[in-house]
Amino acid sequence: MALKLDQQICREIGQHFVFGFHGYDVSEDVERLIREYYVGNIILMKRNVQSFEQVRSLTLKLQQIAKDAGHERPLMIGTDQENGLVSAFSKPEAGTQFPGAMTIAATASSELAEQVAFASGRELRLAGINWTYAPVCDVNSEARNPVIGVRSFGDDPKEVAKYAGAVSRGFTKARVASSLKHFPGHGDTHVDSHLALPVISKSLESLSATELVPFTSLIPDVASIMTGHMALPQLTGTATPASLSRSITTDLLRSNLGYSGVIVTDCLEMAAVAAEYGIDNGAVMALEAGADVVMICHTLERQVGAVEKTYEAVREGRLSVEELKRGGERVRRMKERFAGSWEEVLGSAEVLDSAKEEWRKLNTENTELSQLSHRAYRASTAALSEAPGVLPFKHEELVYVFTPQAESINLAVDDADGVLRDGSGRVRNTAGPSYLAFAQAVSSRAKADHVVYAVSGELPEKLGEAKAVIFATRNANTSRWQLEYLKRLREKVVSVPMVVVSTCGPYDVMGARQEGVDLRDVPVLATFEFTVPALLAAVEVIFGERQTTGRCPVVLGIE
């Protein structure tokens, strides 16, 4: 270590960070962070998840390292399990794919939302994960929002509060700490904080009427809250991100709203912080602001730099040891409630074998036909507009299935391991596995021809043979080329029955008329996410195997 401090203070500082690492097994980097820097919290990401047994083995090894290093309490081991498109723990061999926020809100059942979160939490808990960075409490009032969108429960603050509360209760019931995010609200912006700093120019009165509603209603009962990287100049008088601002973290969240649980920052390696403040200095600023835990997900050098910069700040008196200890006590209370004792965390061979068997039973219950995951997805499919007589499609007809070429969504949703793209950034599979499953589901019911359409792509030569058309969009409100392609397609197949399936944000066909796309005789379905079970549920509707029962959680104003 570059700076020498009392070991007890070093151990205290370590409890104020949550770090990520690379690989399916314990790396030298993460072992060093736990042993030498006493880091008390770890985040697992998609790059760390292969299967249930692998994750269970990994979390046990991490906990044993912490115990051997003399940690007073077990690690909090967290993950981004929002479900839906942001599901670190939803590979088939690891956990069940459950609906995300807007999809579950589309079921109009907060009871179902709580059941899903409880089931998801039980799987996480069995794998040794005791903290989830969910639910998202952002009110998605901006249709162009590039990073929240369907990760939100909708655009009505009270509805967001209702569903976020149900999800938080479900996880808590499973003894997994939840984390409301991204305080004080990331919904009303079209800037992605992974790439730049969003500026939300709203007064406290305006925030209190919308953004703060879900947080304030849930504050008494939630284990942790994640602060976001957005500037609120009307509250702070500066362009400082909320996560680094004492005006937001301490004055607003602690003092004004009375929150007494753990405050954790979003990852400081996001450009909204890293570009302007640097990660090591940003870590100290976040702790000065009143954060209890600072998150740095990716790079060892930045993680070590942040801890050592914190040592320096303590030595210089910039950071109060007493304030750190007060925050450390909040972390310890969360650990007592959700991590438990060393005996409970490490268990015995018999307990571990029992956990594996219990997970297999749970996973079967959650994923088998008509069970929880399927029930939730089937209840979520919504009709954004109807055209009587078009559906259902007939099984003997030739159906053309159009799905959009894969594009980057955002860094929260995109494949972090680069599996989808080659070394040059080119898409290996232009359809994507979910859309291949979608097309396969159609072909199991009718003759099908799958077309992956692209910017300026040509229409199929044999399109005239089509007896029906399924056209899938994915965030066409921002990727307008999809509507341009749809316009050309509509002109070519005017008399052919067509259904449009909005497979991510439901805003796709807003303004379609202004783009010259006439959808008055075209039913529009919404799945709210392009996961396989969401798309398969839509296919069931298209072929008349069930009716839509979902409702759209945002106001669209479709003509």
In the CATH hierarchy, which top-level class contains the domain 381-543?
A: alpha beta
What tens digit of pLDDT does each residue of 403-431 get? 999 876 656 665 544 445 555 555 444 55
Determine the pLDDT at residue 327. Answer: 97
Cα–Cα distance for residue pair 475/461, rounded to 1 Å: 27
What is the enclosing helix (H) or strand (E) of 313? helix 300-315
Count CB-CB contacts under 10 A for residue 469.
Answer: 24
List the structure tokens of 475. 């965030």
Q: What is the residue-averaged pLDDT of the chain?
A: 90
Helix extents (H) in 181-299: 204-209, 212-218, 233-236, 246, 271-277, 279-289
User: Residue 216's pLDDT is what?
Assistant: 96
CB proximity list for 216: less than 8 A, separation 6 or greater: 208, 257
d(CA 99, CA 85): 8
Using the 8-state DSSP alphabet, how is residue 252 labeled? I
Q: What confidence tier does 352 reach under pLDDT thresholds 50, 70, 90?
A: low
- The H-assigned helical ranges of 316-425 are 321-334, 342-346, 349-367, 372-380
In the 8-state DSSP scheme, what is residue 450? E
Structure-block tokens of residue 324:
């750190």
For residues 131-154, average pLDDT: 89
32 contact partners, CB below 8 Å, separation of at least 6: 300
Nearest to 242 by CA among 226, 224, 260, 255: 226
pLDDT band of residue 2 (cuts 50, 70, 90) is very low
Q: Which residues contact 214 (CB under 8 A, 6 or more apart)?
A: 137, 139, 157, 160, 161, 164, 165, 180
Task: Place 4 in a pLDDT band, splitting at 50, 70 and 90.
Answer: low
Question: Sign (positive/negative) of CA torsion 365, 371, 376, 378?
Answer: positive
pLDDT score of 509? 83
Give the mean model confidence (pLDDT) for residues 40-63.
95
Here the tokens at position 172 are 């808590």
Q: Which residues contact 481 (CB under 8 A, 6 or more apart)?
A: 455, 456
- CB hemisphere CA count around 203 (13 angstroms): 3
Distance CA 359, CA 504 (A): 30
The yes-or-no verdict on residue 542 having pLDDT over 90 is yes
Report the share of the chain in percent with pLDDT over 70: 91
Q: Is the pLDDT of residue 90 over 90?
A: no
Stretch 301-316: mean pLDDT: 95
* Half-sphere exposure for 44 (CA within 13 Å, toward CB): 34
Question: Looking at residue 273, what is its pLDDT?
Answer: 82
Which residue has 């700490």 as its token pair?
177
pLDDT at 9: 92
pLDDT of residue 536 exceeding 60, the answer is: yes
- What are the φ/ψ torsions at residue 407 (nearest 5 degrees)? -135, 160
- Distance, in Å, from the CA atom of 57 to the CA atom of 62, rounded to the nearest integer, reads 9
| 247 pLDDT higher than 50 | yes
**Residue 369 pLDDT grade (very low, low, confident, very high; cuts 50, 70, 90):** very low
511-to-41, 143, 273, 507, 517 alpha-carbon distances in Å? 46, 12, 35, 9, 9
Q: What are 399's two structure tokens? A: 């159906």
Band of pLDDT at residue 513, cut at 50, 70 and 90: confident
Mean pLDDT of 64-83: 97
Residues 114-128: pLDDT tens digits? 999 999 999 999 999
256 pLDDT higher than 80 = yes
> What pLDDT shows up at residue 413?
66
Q: How many CA atoms lie within 13 A of 530 on its CB side?
A: 27
Q: Which of 130-139, 141-150, 199-208, 383-392 has the lowest mean pLDDT?
A: 141-150
**Nearest by Cα to 218 from 127, 309, 153, 310:** 153
* Per-residue model confidence (pLDDT) at position 22: 95
Chain-centroid distance, C-alpha 4: 39
Question: Rounded CA gap, 134 and 137, in Å?
Answer: 8
**What tokens appear for 82 in the block?**
């929002």
The answer on pLDDT for 278 being more than 60 is yes
Is the confidence at residue 559, as pLDDT, over 70? no
**Amino acid identity at 346:** L
86-87 and 81-83 beta bridge pairing: antiparallel
Question: What pLDDT is stored for residue 418 in this prediction?
Answer: 47
C-alpha–C-alpha distance, residues 203 and 210, integer Å: 11
Q: Where do the structural domains in the chain lie, given as residue ranges?
A: 16-359, 381-543
**What's the token pair of residue 437?**
């499953």
Confidence of residue 98 (pLDDT cuts 50, 70, 90): very high
Rounded to whole angstroms, the Cα distance separating 478 from 331 reads 40
**Distance between CA atoms of residues 56 and 128, nearest Å:** 6
pLDDT attached to residue 445:
96
Which pair of tokens denotes residue 510? 């807003």
Q: Per residue in 311-344, pLDDT tens? A: 999 999 999 999 999 999 999 999 999 999 999 9
Looking at the predicted structure, is the pLDDT value of residue 1 above 50? Answer: no
Q: Does domain 16-359 have CATH number 3.40.1160.10?
A: no
pLDDT recorded at residue 62: 97
Residue 107 pLDDT > 60: yes
Taken in order 307, 309, 313, 315, the sign of the CA dihedral is positive
